[in-house]
Amino acid sequence: MSQNTLFDKIWSAHSVRVLPTGQTQLFIGLHLIHEVTSPQAFDMLRKRELTVRFPKRTFATVDHIVPTTEEGRERPFLDVIADDMLTHIEQNCREFDITFFGLGHEGQGIVHVIGPELGLTQPGLTIACGDSHTSTHGAFGAIAFGIGTTQVFNVLATQCLLLKKPKVRQIKVNGELPPGVFAKDIILAIIGKLGVKGGIGYAYEYTGSAVDGLDMEGRMTICNMSIEGGATCGYINPDQTTVEYLKGRAFVPKGARFDQAAKQWLELSSGSDAVYDDVVEIDGNSLSPMTTWGITPGQVVGMDDPIPNDADPEALSFMGLTVGQRIIGTKIDVAFIGSCTNGRISDLREAARAITEHGLTVASHVTALVVPGSESVRKQAETEGLHEIFRNAGFEWREAGCSMCLAMNPDKLEGSQRCAASSNRNFKGRQGSPTGRTHLMSPASVVASAAAGEIASLQQLVA
């Protein structure tokens, strides 16, 4: 069993008691909620005549269902169900005294983007949210769990969760990433190696020189997709990069209190004598731009590599591909940059840089969208003129939200359209059409694919 890892330290510090079932009652330091998984939880509170136990530890936003066009955001929404969800979270937050970053608020955005932006996400915290990609927050040295609606109710009512302690797997990625290889390529390579069920029963600790060299937003991309590898959560030990990112954020301590907090954060890191349940090593020097060929994030290859001989026939049939085929050069219809995986300002800067440096424009048959992960990201991008770079290249520039990552708003694939996407899931129907096909890749590869009109990496496009 793991010992003296960051995970063990945080788990121990937040354990209330161990039940006869073996589960731990774990105190949750930060609870994030959104409009999709919280309405039923609040109804449960009312039926039991309960209140929110610690309302100042819960923060709310709206992200999944919001339209990303200016006219689409006028209330009421055309989608009656979506408007009803928004109305409910507005009412619930007022009734239970919960801070809500709603439409028009500068803090609005995808829940896993605004938490770090606002400094709500801090090292050493236990974090829960009714969303699969809550693992994102582990990039700060927190342990963060995606939970279901009943567990959202549990946290609202008690500020605790009942969880079985997972094992800890250390994943070392050492070496220097080749040009054109990004955090998204690292995590796709990890999932490809370990599988979408390889992480079941584990927390993933990401480490190694290639991980240490990433900025905080790259680290968030890696931790974000831990759940796609089956892991309970994923985290990275806090370091000076973490401290510098958090300094000055709205909810982070200031002055001497910040210095004290930073000292405590750095002491949380896994000890040199830490014991892990498993260790996996990946050579960062050997990584290349990656993309998925199938219907899970684990069905992935390097763009120059052929689809493997043991590829799942069902996935191949759905995607219209064949064994041995190189994925590069496959015609696309849609290009999407956004989501809680790759909708941050550094993602948009990298995509815009690729456009500018190589004079790229979107192919005439491709519909291309850039959707900022938050209102703050949108404003910063517009301050830097990135929106004009995207527009001039043929991309649509949208308002903040989850958009085409999932099919809960008007941004959807149609028919059997094929999409190059910077998001996190490529399941059947994920982007709105039951026959739509999704290829996951980095934002730079999405730009390259949009310009080529077919799946491409930046390396290949500019060679």
What length is written for the chain? Answer: 463
Q: What's the mean pLDDT in 387-395?
A: 98
Rounded Cα gap, residues 427 and 290, in angstroms: 17
129 strand-pairing partners: 32, 146
Q: How many Cβ atoms are within 10 Å of 289's Cβ, its own excluded? A: 26
* pLDDT on residue 207: 98
Query: How confident is the model over 240-291, as pLDDT tens digits?
Result: 999 999 999 999 999 999 999 999 999 999 999 999 999 999 999 999 999 9
* pLDDT on residue 414: 97
Rounded Cα gap, residues 305 and 326, in angstroms: 6
* pLDDT on residue 407: 85
Query: How confident is the model over 147-165, as pLDDT tens digits?
Result: 999 999 999 999 999 999 9
Kindly indicate the confidence band of residue 380, based on its pLDDT and cuts at 50, 70 and 90: very high
Query: Does 460 score more than 90 pLDDT?
Result: no
| Residues 6+ away with beta carbon under 8 Å from 10 | 124, 125, 126, 142, 143, 268
Q: Rounded to two decimals, what is the model's pTM?
A: 0.97
Q: What is the dihedral of CA 32, 93, 110, 412, to 10 degrees?
A: 130
Half-sphere exposure of 347 (CA within 13 A, CB side): 34
126 strand-pairing partners: 143
Query: Does 379 score more than 90 pLDDT?
Result: yes
DSSP for 98-163, please give it.
-EEE-TTSTT-B-HHHHHHHHT---TT-EEEESSGGGGGGGGGT-EEEE--HHHHHHHHHHSEEEE
| Structural contact between residues 223 and 136, judged by C-beta atoms closer than 8 angstroms | yes
Query: How confident is the model over 402-412, as pLDDT tens digits?
Result: 999 998 999 99
Q: What's the mean pLDDT in 415-426?
A: 98
